[in-house]
A and B are shown apart, each in its own frame.
Chain A
């Protein structure tokens, strides 16, 4: 019984710290760090993206992010997305200060064409985007 209790305690310890938060100055920096190749940041992020913040959970494979992009990239970026009317049932609050939990509903929502588990909310007026990836 004590053995099983000790094992269960170990499982609690293993589950304590699986979320990772990163900040990148540019998409090139994120690419160089491997964050795009490892799948946490969507491939479809505009080339001009800057001030990228990303959080992910290693156990659920969810990721969330915020980025800013240059206005000339907007049309190219929009071509990689499909407009949707709902925010997707998979969205959970990442509980980070840069996530617009209260204003997200007012932004236009999109689904990435190259990965159906990735969604975007874009503020086209201020060229700010948010993305999230569903759990798997």
Chain B
């Protein structure tokens, strides 16, 4: 059988009730569903613990979640690039928030640089979008300290140095390299005396 062009590049699939061919299956836009079951079965999908029925619906499109997921061939589901980026940015922000909370909880003099480093390292470990998140958060943050809080230059310059130690240490160099050092190791030199060992 000659390969037909994929009619669906996302879940939109046109507004009519006509069926469209999506390589392995026909999709009927009016129904919002495929007309055949998934040829690789329901095992080809991620299990959704929040909605088990969604995971086991062999006729649905992209697990009924077309904004975040795409089914390019009719037999597999992938998270869209923008959704992946949003997730990584969200996780990167969570890295910053968690380390900020730890910094406040530790409440130890000179510990800020250690936690700045950890946040940047952990976010950068998540890949290019994590690095971007770390860079924007760090530079933006120090700009706020300088322009809004009026912090002394020595303080925000030292913070920026700690940010970049974490960012460069967290950046993954290549897939075949030896495993990167843990972020706590990367930031060890910035750890102040007296900081609780749990951090």
Measured CA separation A3–B89 after assembly (Å):
9
- What is the size category of the interface that chain B forms with chain A? 20 to 34
Interface majority SS (helix, strand, loop, mixed), chain A: loop
Contact present for A15 and B109 (CB under 8 Å): no
| A15 lies within 8 A of B145 (CB) | yes
Inter-chain CA distance A133–B140, complex, in Å, is 26
With contact pairs A39-B108, A135-B154 given, residues A7 and B144 touching in the complex (Cβ less than 8 Å) = no
In this assembly, does A14 line the interface, its C-beta being within 8 Å of a C-beta of chain B? Answer: yes
Pick the contact of B152: A38, A56, A135 (CB < 8 A): A135
Cα–Cα distance between A20 and B154 once the two chains are bound (Å): 21
B residues in contact with A74, CB < 8 Å: none
Q: Which of B96-104, B167-175, B181-189 contacts A (4 or more CB under 8 A)?
A: B96-104
Q: Mark A39-66, 1 if CB is under 8 A from B, else 0.
A: 1100000000000000010111111000
Query: Counting CB contacts under 8 A, is B12 at the interface?
Result: no
Which A residues, 2 to 52, have Cβ-Cβ distances below 8 Å to chain B?
A: 3-4, 7-8, 10-12, 14-15, 18, 20, 37-40
Q: List 10 A-B contacts (CB under 8 A).
A: A7-B93, A7-B137, A11-B140, A14-B141, A58-B104, A59-B159, A61-B155, A133-B109, A135-B152, A135-B155
* Other contacts beyond A7-B136, A11-B144: 18, CB < 8 A: A7-B93, A7-B133, A8-B140, A14-B96, A14-B137, A18-B104, A20-B107, A37-B194, A39-B108, A39-B192, A60-B151, A60-B155, A61-B112, A62-B155, A135-B151, A135-B152, A135-B154, A135-B155
